[in-house]
Amino acid sequence: MTIRIGIAGIAGRMGRLLAEEVPAAGARLAGGTLRSGTAPAGAEVLPDFGALCGVSDVVIDFTHAQAAPLHARTAAEAGTPLILGSSGLSAEEEAAVADAAARVPIVFAANFAPGVNLFLAIAERMAAALPAAQYDAEIVEMHHRQKVDAPSGTAVALGRAVAAGRGTTLEDAGRESGRDGHCGGRGTGTIGFAALRGGQVVGEHTLIFAAASEHISLTHRSFDRRVYATGAVRAALWAAARPAGLYDMKDVLGM
């Protein structure tokens, strides 16, 4: 059976790429929703997210973080698996997504690029091997000038991976960001973030472990948003046959 995939925000930059990647993967484009703009030629436009769930076997959503709780709840009520790529969710919004995942499969990932997910796995292993007392962890990310949230979802995921490798959480380890003026010395064991914005950078993330005697850095660069679209469609095909639960891209990749 050909899987029908719906796209929330089909007129956006990611939505248009997704609309191209769905048929390329052998699936059927069920249609999409939009707030403004024009849908790709031949794509059916549905009046709202609930209607989109009704005609889709899986829905992919890269729209605004504030829409995520409602969309997750709507997908759960419809019994439609959801691929969620919105970034910048608050703790309360993430909790709402997790609650919906008790009723329907949801793949919620900070980044759908396979290389980034390998990066996250390596970051956790590096953090486990490099003691926080000796190695300061700093995360530097740069994105296009239109990005509205900072640090990026991928940067936060990197911070969480580092914290997990050190047997703690990002919240307990502590975040350092926005240093300016006489802000005092760096806290031991904290995880630092720096967010850069400019031009049309698709996405660049560097993780640095800095000790007194050595520095180790790991960088991932995205040159084309299509890598996120192909990953999300791959996740949609994977999620269509899964039981209810909250998954991430590492589950899709079998990592």
**What is the DSSP code string of 98-145?**
HHHTTTSEEEE-S---HHHHHHHHHHHHHHHHS-TTT-EEEEEEEE-T
On whether the CB atoms of residues 32 and 9 are closer than 8 A, the answer is yes
Could you give the residue numbers annotated as active site?
A: 143, 147
Q: Using CA atoms, how far apart are residues 152 and 85, in angstroms rounded to an integer?
A: 12
Q: In the block, which residue shows the tokens 């919906």?
A: 100
Q: Using CA atoms, how far apart are residues 245 and 157, in angstroms rounded to an integer?
A: 19
Q: Using CA atoms, how far apart are residues 251 and 235, in angstroms rounded to an integer?
A: 9
Q: Within a 10 A sphere around the Cβ of 20, how many other Cβ atoms? A: 14
Which residues fall within 8 angstroms of residue 118, CB to CB, at 6 or more apart?
A: 255
219 beta partners: 206
